[in-house]
Amino acid sequence: MTSLSVGIIGCGRMGRQHALVCQSLGHHIAFVQDVDPTRGETLAGQCRGAAILSAPDEIAWGSIDAVFICTPPHARGPVELAAAQSGTPFLVEKPIGIKSEQCVGVLRELQLRPLVTSVGYMSRYRDSVRDARASLDGRRVVGVSAFWLAGRYNTPWWFDRTQSGGPFNEQGTHFVDLLRYFGGEIDEVAAVGRAADMEHPLSVSCRFQSGASGSLLYSCLSRSKQMSFEVLCTDGVVALEGYDLALAGSSQTTESALRTETEIFCRAVSEVRPDLVESSFEDALRTQLVMDAIAESLATQAVTKVRTPATLLVSREAA
């Protein structure tokens, strides 16, 4: 793989992990940038030769091959748009925003100027998840059932709805994305919970375009990580268990999904192979549109239709 020169925007936990993986793969961290100068200085000290930028508008886009955007959800949009306009491939952490409207400018630019993009739905890169999906080939899926019980993230913005969209938008999006990954596109959703209480457990039912049904229970009140994902077929069940989503009954060893995700993105950039990426920006937008529908259903207590990227663009133009 060709050695790349990459930038890191956002030097928290995810930015640091992507940077260190890139460096271990032989890539050069050209610069780091964070709103907290201390975080930027700390990460720069771990990355040989990395410059420290005070703001994204200091980026010399022509000097890098790719950028990793690891900012909180409320800050998403401007850097991705600048990257797309400059033709610079980018990996942005999930979710891609608080709401889909935040992403319209980037989507329009990518339609005009396609390039390699990736979104941090790292569970798609687990061997167990890929094997489970491959095992569904030729089988009829009638339902998907999942639960995600975990604790709060210890970051100041995570529990602020204006910065994260709420815990479910920031964390539960992983399993909503897997609902799509295994069941296909979702037509409509119905959510039950307390819209004003972000800590209250949330239950979501959905109908896939295929006619299959899905369900997801989410809570951030658990003292430990308890997770399960089952794909129900007419001829049996494919089950994934635990935080690492190991195949039930398998002795398969756990791999670093984030390392695999980072490595594949870098390879896709190096080889100009967008097909290598499991979750592109356009694909991740479809997951965010489901998240939007769930939020609307929770607020209205009504079954809600999931918009498509095309209807999103039309509604924005009409507005």
Q: What is the pLDDT of residue 129?
A: 96
Tens-place pLDDT, residues 182-233: 999 999 999 999 866 666 799 999 999 999 999 999 999 888 899 999 999 9
108: which DSSP letter? H
d(CA 58, CA 55): 6
Tens-place pLDDT, residues 109-142: 999 999 999 999 999 999 999 999 999 999 999 9
pLDDT band at residue 251 using 50, 70 and 90 as cut-offs: low
Sheet containing 213-219, strands listed edge to edge, beginning at the edge strand earlier in sequence:
246-247, 236-241, 226-233, 141-149, 213-219, 202-208, 186-192, 304-305
Cα–Cα nearest to 19, from 35, 36, 40, 1 = 40
pLDDT (average), residues 246-270: 87
Burial track 211-243 (b if 16+ CB lie within 10 A, e otherwise) = ebbbbbbbbbeeeeeebbbbbbeeeeebbbbee
d(CA 74, CA 306): 22
The helix (H) or strand (E) run that includes residue 119 is strand 117-119
Tens-place pLDDT, residues 97-111: 999 999 999 999 999
d(CA 182, CA 293): 19
Q: What is the pLDDT of residue 315?
A: 76
β pairing state of 186-192 and 117-119: unpaired
**The CA-based dihedral angle spanning residues 309, 310, 313, 318, taken in that order and rounded to the nearest 10 degrees:** -140
pLDDT band at residue 261 using 50, 70 and 90 as cut-offs: very high
Of 68-72, 139-143, 161-165, 258-262, where does mean pLDDT reach its minimum? 161-165
Mean pLDDT of the chain: 94
